[in-house]
Amino acid sequence: MAVEVVYRSSRDLERLFMDKAEADRHDKMLELAELLGSVLKNAVPSLSEEQLEEAGIYMAKNRDVFARAFKSQPDALNELINGAKAE
């Protein structure tokens, strides 16, 4: 009988990971997504909770593209518009 070590995300109990670093990255992405959703809720109160969650996760998953766009490379967003990093 083999023993397998798995890691569970503390923010997403359904997901299991074979690598602790990967589980940590997933937790950090979900934490960022939650904060982004809170910011978006303040900016656009009419968004539903589902829309806020989806937008927050999308932005968190594509944080590198958004970071480049905010650092004076707005054309980086074309990657998302053209579907290069779309889910």
- Measured CA to CA in angstroms, residue 55 lies from 7, 12, 18, 81 at distances of 26, 17, 27, 14
| pLDDT value, residue 55 | 96
44: helix, strand or coil: coil
- Structure-token pair, residue 6: 């798995």
Mean pLDDT of the chain: 91
Indicate if the pLDDT at residue 74 is higher than 50.
Answer: yes
CB 37 within 8 A of CB 56: yes
CA-to-CA separations, 26 to 22, 23, 46, 69, in angstroms, rounded: 6, 5, 28, 23
Going along the chain from its start, the domains and CATH numbers come out as 7-81 (1.10.10.710)
Tokens of 58: 């999308």
Interval 17-50: pLDDT, tens: 999 999 999 999 999 999 999 999 999 999 999 9
Mean pLDDT within 68-78: 94
pLDDT of residue 84: 56
